[in-house]
Amino acid sequence: MRSTPRVAVVTGGSRGIGRAVTRRLTAAGFDVAIIYNADQDEAAATVREVEVAGRTGLALRADIADAPAVRRAFEAVKDRFDGVDVVINSAGIMPLAPIATLDLDDLDRVLRTNVRGAFVVARQAAHSVRDGGAVVLFSTTVTRTHLPNYGAYAATKAAVEGLVPILAKELAGRDITVNAVAPGPTATDLFFEGKPQEAVDRIAGANPMGRLGTPEDIAAVVATITGPARWINGQTIFANGGLA
């Protein structure tokens, strides 16, 4: 066992589920580097939270689909912390429209971020994560519930689910776990955007637990599979309160 803290990289770590994951890993004793793409102020605020909690934080700006930018970000993490133990790819986008009318430019955009971006981060993680570490990608429960208007988003996340067990096998012999977490409807800005209250209430009521998930619910699952649950590997874990 090392005397130094474990180090996590969280993409999309400045907002929503990614920020909750950052907080949870910080509480577990990790130093955390977040990779963000747009909101520098939120990224800086998240780093302050890490540091107030007594750990070391780092914010790095990069488009996750830009392989050279992601490589540079990971190199900066290695320079600062001397290595990486856990990689969480929570960054993603979710344009909604029926398949028949979806703008193909939006399709290209979501494929670039959610598929190419996940692949770029996973590939970099394969080179960077120390033996005994963990990689977590994000899917969605919509790959099971098949809701209208989510065709492009669900297709990209199905691709992520296909990637996970293959990478787990390719990293055999290094004691690195690779899993996906597939949240159900979760109370984030991304979820609430464009939805009237009636729709929010209806979606929450469809869950056997009678509520939306919280970012902290999802962060708890991530903390488990990056910590004590070493025998879970190559899986997609549906964290949705029993929705599907």
Selected catalytic residue, list 30, 138, 153, 191? 153
Q: Which residues contact 214 (CB under 8 A, 6 or more apart)?
A: 20, 186, 187
Site of tokens 């790095």: 60
- Cβ atoms of 178 and 168 closer than 8 Å: yes
Please give the Cα distance from 149 to 39 (Å, whole number).
27
**H-helix segments, 36-150:** 40-52, 67-81, 104-111, 117-128, 142-145
How far is residue 115 from each of residues 65, 68, 163, measured CA to CA in Å?
A: 8, 17, 10
Tokens of 174: 């290094």
| Phi and psi at residue 172, to the nearest 5° | -55, 140
The yes-or-no answer on residue 150 being catalytic is: no
**Element housing 21 (H / E):** helix 16-27
Please give the Cα distance from 12 to 188 (Å, whole number).
13
Please give the Cα distance from 244 to 187 (Å, whole number).
18
Q: Which residues carry out catalysis?
A: 153
